[in-house]
């Protein structure tokens, strides 16, 4: 018993180091120590270090952080490597627009040295990021103006990132491409369009964005579209226009299912969440939302919706914005882990992922200051006895499962949806109205015809 005064502090140090190291092994695809196996063989994970410490104080103090974490140490087996990497929502393209007007050749925009953002290439590598949905986001004040053009520019900058840094990024459009990028050691780069206003209520624009690489569409941002209600409806700041989804909104979802575009319900009202979960033929995602029961912010997902997420095999990817994590300006890594724990317990381990929202928010939790900090979050989940399978699910496998289900449900042989949104649902703006029955061109043609007919009797009388 005389050794107890020094033993347990060293065990704590060793255990903390072990979890961080195990997190890195899982994330970089090197051999890992399976948490289930460890818990079956030992009373607690720290017993591995405790056993060595009992042999030699010096051995433990010097050896645990270095030697004992190697594969095969202490009789632990070498496990076959598997490739896995985080997938999430990231707003770096928006920062590139704000800071450099999307001019990637500006030397200040060099992604290997850019220091003022949450994301750059060294930080991505340090965080073992192997896959990324880059957000093509444009603000709500572009709605009914230049939203489509602005969205095209943001998709373009993602493609140019892949072109300019081919050793780091590879643009892909399907789950097979993601897995191939993992094997190549590059960041699989996909496009998510954040806000239904980006399609300008046009099924044709939706299809065009799909062909340009969009693989998820957030139905609204923090504003209603003419066909879907946003989360501010639930606060009373906005009025419900569609009671969730209008008939045209339902058509948009059907076309997304047909194309193979993931439906993203971050930012939408609860009524929109429920309508989409009921209507969609494939699982949906919340690309960056947290648990409402832990932080009662309307951007988060309530328990009854989490039950629908579970029933439909859908996915909630936890947001790191302090206001959605802690409902206050300050938050920490442990509170983010609380949201991951909560969603896992309510909706199941297959329903949870990492949403991030880096470079799209102004305040992130202490311990998660940028994308390099993901291993620390994984280590915290290991401390909470998440299994390796659950960790891999949250990092990538859950999103890949949903993506593959969306691809399987798609059907490009099916006739595309064609019914346009009713003209009276569109807000007055500078848009033209060609194709609608009330189009100005038709008025002019009809007026000219009536004028010609009125003059015809006069002409006959003059003959």
Identified catalytic residue from 21, 118, 234, 267: 267
- Chain-centre distance of CA 395, in angstroms? 12
Residue whose C-alpha is closest to residue 269's, from 286, 252, 281 = 286
Q: How far apart are CA 187 and CA 166, in angstroms?
A: 10
CB burial of 367-377 (b: ≥16 within 10 Å; e: otherwise) equals: bbebbbbbbbb
Decide if 217 contacts 197 (C-beta within 8 A). Answer: no
200 assigned to active site? no
Residue 364 has a CB neighbour count (10 Å cut-off) of 23
Identified catalytic residue from 21, 91, 388, 417: 91
Q: How far apart are CA 426 and CA 241, in angstroms?
A: 12
Residue 291: both structure tokens together: 């648990």
Q: How far apart are CA 405 and CA 308, in angstroms?
A: 17
- Percentages helix, strand, coil for the chain (3-state, rounded to 5) are 50, 10, 40
Decide if 208 contacts 136 (C-beta within 8 A). Answer: no
Identified catalytic residue from 21, 24, 87, 89: 89
Q: In 387-439, which residue ranges form alpha helices assigned H by DSSP?
A: 388-392, 398-409
Residue whose C-alpha is closest to residue 384's, from 139, 39, 127 = 39
Question: Measured between alpha carbons, how far is residue 147 from residues 122, 151, 205, 303, 340 in Å?
Answer: 32, 6, 11, 34, 34
Q: In 232-297, which residue ranges form alpha helices assigned H by DSSP?
A: 247-259, 270-279
211 assigned to active site? no
Residue 389 has a CB neighbour count (10 Å cut-off) of 14
91 assigned to active site? yes
Identified catalytic residue from 194, 200, 359, 390: 194
Q: Which one-letter DSSP state was computed for residue 349?
A: G
Identified catalytic residue from 197, 288, 297, 339: 288
194 assigned to active site? yes
339 assigned to active site? no
Residue 432: both structure tokens together: 């033209």
Decide if 377 contacts 337 (C-beta within 8 A). Answer: yes
Residues 6+ apart with CB under 8 A from 437: 423
424 assigned to active site? no
Q: How far apart are CA 179 and CA 173, in angstroms?
A: 11
Identified catalytic residue from 118, 221, 297, 339: 221
89 assigned to active site? yes
Residue 108 has a CB neighbour count (10 Å cut-off) of 10
User: For the CA atoms of the chain, what is the radius of gyration?
Assistant: 27
Residues recognised as catalytic: 89, 91, 194, 221, 267, 288, 357
């Amino acid at each position: 018993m005389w050794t107890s005064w020094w033993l347990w502090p060293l065990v704590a140090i060793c255990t903390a180091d072990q979890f961080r190291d195990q997190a890195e092994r899982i994330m970089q695809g090197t051999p890992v120590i399976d948490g289930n196996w460890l818990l079956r063989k030992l009373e607690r994970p720290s017993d591995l270090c405790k056993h060595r410490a009992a042999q030699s104080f010096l051995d433990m103090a010097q050896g645990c952080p270095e030697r004992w974490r190697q594969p095969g140490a202490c009789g632990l087996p070498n496990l076959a490597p598997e490739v896995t990497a985080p997938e999430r929502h990231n707003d770096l393209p928006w920062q590139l627009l704000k800071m450099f007007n999307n001019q990637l050749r500006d030397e200040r925009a060099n992604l290997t040295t850019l220091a003022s953002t949450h994301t750059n290439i060294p930080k991505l590598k340090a965080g073992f990021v192997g896959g990324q949905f880059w957000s093509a986001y444009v603000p709500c004040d572009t709605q009914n103006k230049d939203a489509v053009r602005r969205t095209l520019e943001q998709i373009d900058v993602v493609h140019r990132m892949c072109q300019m840094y081919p050793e780091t990024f590879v643009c892909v459009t399907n789950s097979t491409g993601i897995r191939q990028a993992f094997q190549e050691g590059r960041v699989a780069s996909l496009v998510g369009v954040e806000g239904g206003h980006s399609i300008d209520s046009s099924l044709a624009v939706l299809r065009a964005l799909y062909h340009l690489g969009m693989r998820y569409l957030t139905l609204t941002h923090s504003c209603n579209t003419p066909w879907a209600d946003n989360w501010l409806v639930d606060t009373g700041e906005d009025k419900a226009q569609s009671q969730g989804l209008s008939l045209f909104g339902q058509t948009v979802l059907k076309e997304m299912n047909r194309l193979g575009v993931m439906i993203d319900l971050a930012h939408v009202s609860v009524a929109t969440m429920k309508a989409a979960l009921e209507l969609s033929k494939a699982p949906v995602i919340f690309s960056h939302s947290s648990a409402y029961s832990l932080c009662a912010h309307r951007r988060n997902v309530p328990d009854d919706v989490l039950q629908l997420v579970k029933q439909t095999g859908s996915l909630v990817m936890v947001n790191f914005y302090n206001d959605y994590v802690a409902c206050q300006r300050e938050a920490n890594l442990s509170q983010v882990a609380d949201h991951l724990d909560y969603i896992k317990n309510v909706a199941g381990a297959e329903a949870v992922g990492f949403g991030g929202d880096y470079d799209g928010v102004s305040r992130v939790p202490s311990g998660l200051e940028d994308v390099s900090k993901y291993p620390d979050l994984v280590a915290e989940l290991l401390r909470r006895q998440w299994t390796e399978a659950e960790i891999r699910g949250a990092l990538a496998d859950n999103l890949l499962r949903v993506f593959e289900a969306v691809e399987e449900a798609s059907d490009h042989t099916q006739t595309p949806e064609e019914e346009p949104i009713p003209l009276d649902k569109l807000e007055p703006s500078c848009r033209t109205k060609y194709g609608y029955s009330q189009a100005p061109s038709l008025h002019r043609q009809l007026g000219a015809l009536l004028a010609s007919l009125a003059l015809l009797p006069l002409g006959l009388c003059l003959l």
